[in-house]
Amino acid sequence: MEARPLTLGAEESPWRRLRDAADRRPAATALILIGAAVLVMIGAKGLHAVAQGGLNGLSLGAIYALGAVGLTLVYGILRLVNFAHGDFLTFGAYMAYMVNVTWSLPLVAGIAFAMLATAVLAVFFELIMWGPMRARRAGLLQLLLMSIGLALVIRSALQYIWSTDIRLLDVNTTDTVGFLGLLIGRTQLIVIAVGVVVLVAIGLMLRQTLLGKRMRALADDLELAEVAGIDTRRVIAYTWLFAGALAGLAGVLSASITSLNPNFGFDLLLPIFAAVIMGGIGDAYGALAAGMLLGVITEWSVLFIDARWKIGVGFVVLIATLIIRPQGIFGKAKVV
């Protein structure tokens, strides 16, 4: 019996080919689109405005990125939509407040303490809550509602102790630094610096260290990692430590350039989710890039719309990502 001759597929339209090419090289496509947008913006508002907005956006972006990296690893490994992550940021900020303002120690100590405390908090809940629930094969909605419950518990505890008063960390809020004709607050510059340093360190850690590689492996495919003999419980615990520490740091940084109140972390959560989804769930590098990008986009938006709408930008980007490319810019398969 002879095989049927191969028949060529239906003609593919040039539009379809373009979309397929874009699908296959998403990072390049994103870069091209962003580059084009930047050129348009410079044309409309001038180089200075765009550069200044970009600089401002970096501090917000660093905060988003720090929050997103931890969240995406947890989400990728545990398939847990952790609605309490925002409150980790809040928790970290209040820990720093305690050290920096209540005990009058330097902010550096506050940051260290915040990262440590939030890391411990994260692992604590993994041990008493998330681990046992996973063992019981809890479903998505169950875990989601539990994370919401946890968010409320953390937030209410913080509110009980510190009330809803807006508080400030003991930081320099007035000095500015100028270079290349751009201005930026001194504290904001420090936030960017700290953020970038930590993010680079994380990037290296994930790539070079054994633990980092294991984390990425788990985030990619948990079952496969288990089969390959990796001690997943240990790696999961480290991931939570990691996520907690980063969230705590993000919280302190945010508090140092704005302020603290019990809700601010949750307010940051949706933009952080946007960064996670944009970067592709489980992809720490993606979350990093997407977070920085989102911060910059948010600040650029102010060039065109009234500042009071700024908080909505993250939400709109989230929706747009979910509609156009739910697997994220760097996500692989169309697993949606």
Partner 1 sequence: MPVADLLLPFGLTLDFFTDTGFWVGVGVLAGVYVLVALGLQLNVGFTGMTNFGAAGFMAVGAYAMAILVLKAGFSFWLSLPCAMLIAIGFGLLIGLPSLRLRADYFAIATIALAEIVRIIAQNARGLTGGNQGLFCAEGGAGACYNDAWTSLSSTIEGWFENLGWSDPEALAPLLLAVWLTVVLATLGLRFIQGSPWGRVLRAIREDEDAAEALGKNTLVHKLQSLAIAAAIGAMAGFFLALDLATVHPEDYEPLVTFFAYGVLVLGGLASYWGVLVGGVIFWAVLEGTRFVELPISETQIASIRFFIVGVVLILLMAFRPQGMFGKREEMVLGE
Partner 2 sequence: MNEAETAPAKANGKPILEADGVVKRFGGIRAVDGATLDVREGSVTALIGPNGAGKTTLFNVVTGFYRPDGGRASFQGNQILGASPHAIARLGMVRTFQITKALARMPVIDNMMLAAPDQPGERLLNVILRPGEVRRREAEVREQALELLEIFDLARLADEYAGTLSGGQRKLLELARALMTRPRLLLLDEPMAGINPTLGRRLLDHMQRLRAEQGVSFLFIEHDMEVVMGHSDRVIVMAEGRVIADGEPHEVRSDPAVIDAYLGSGTVIEEPAR
Binding region for partner 1 (CB under 8 A): 79, 81, 129, 132-133, 136-146, 148-153, 155-157, 159-160, 163-164, 266, 270, 273-274, 277, 306, 308-309, 311-312, 315-316, 318-319, 322-323, 326, 336
Length of the chain: 336
* Torsion angle defined by CA atoms of residues 30, 33, 37 and 40, in that order, rounded to the nearest 10 degrees: 160
Place of tokens 């320099």: 172
12 or 231: CB nearest partner 2: 12
**What phi, psi does 122 have (nearest 5°)?**
-60, -45
10 contact, one of partner 2, partner 1, none, CB 5-8 Å limit per kind: partner 2
6 or 135: CB nearest partner 2: 6
Task: Return d(Cα 111, Cα 105) in angstroms, integer.
Answer: 11
Residue 21: Cβ-neighbour burial (10 angstroms; 0-12, 13-18, 19+) = exposed
Q: Shortest Cβ distance from residue 138 to partner 1 (Å)?
A: 6
Q: Binding to partner 2 by residue 332, rule CB under 8 A? A: yes
Q: Shortest Cβ distance from residue 64 to partner 1 (Å)?
A: 15
Q: Which residue from 32, 60, 59, 52 is spatially nearest to 313, judged by alpha carbons?
A: 60
Would you say 65 and 291 are in contact if contact means Cβ atoms under 8 Å apart? yes
47 or 311: CB nearest partner 1: 311
Q: Shortest Cβ distance from residue 323 to partner 1 (Å)?
A: 5
- Contact positions with partner 2 (CB under 8 A) in 5-24: 6-10, 12
Stretch that binds partner 2, among 1-9, 159-167, 191-199, 260-268 (CB under 8 A): 1-9
296 contact, one of partner 2, partner 1, none, CB 5-8 Å limit per kind: none
Q: Shortest Cβ distance from residue 316 to partner 1 (Å)?
A: 7
Place of tokens 């788990």: 218
Handedness of CA 289, 121, 91, 274 (dihedral sign): positive
6 contact, one of partner 2, partner 1, none, CB 5-8 Å limit per kind: partner 2
Task: Return d(Cα 107, Cα 96) in angstroms, integer.
Answer: 7
Task: Return d(Cα 289, Cα 277) in angstroms, integer.
Answer: 12
Q: Any residues with CB less than 8 A from the CB of 259 and at least 6 apart, and which?
A: 166, 167, 168
315 contact, one of partner 1, partner 2, none, CB 5-8 Å limit per kind: partner 1
Q: Shortest Cβ distance from residue 280 to partner 2 (Å)?
A: 14
Q: Binding to partner 2 by residue 137, rule CB under 8 A? A: no
Contact residues for partner 2, defined by CB under 8 A: 1, 3-4, 6-10, 12, 332-333
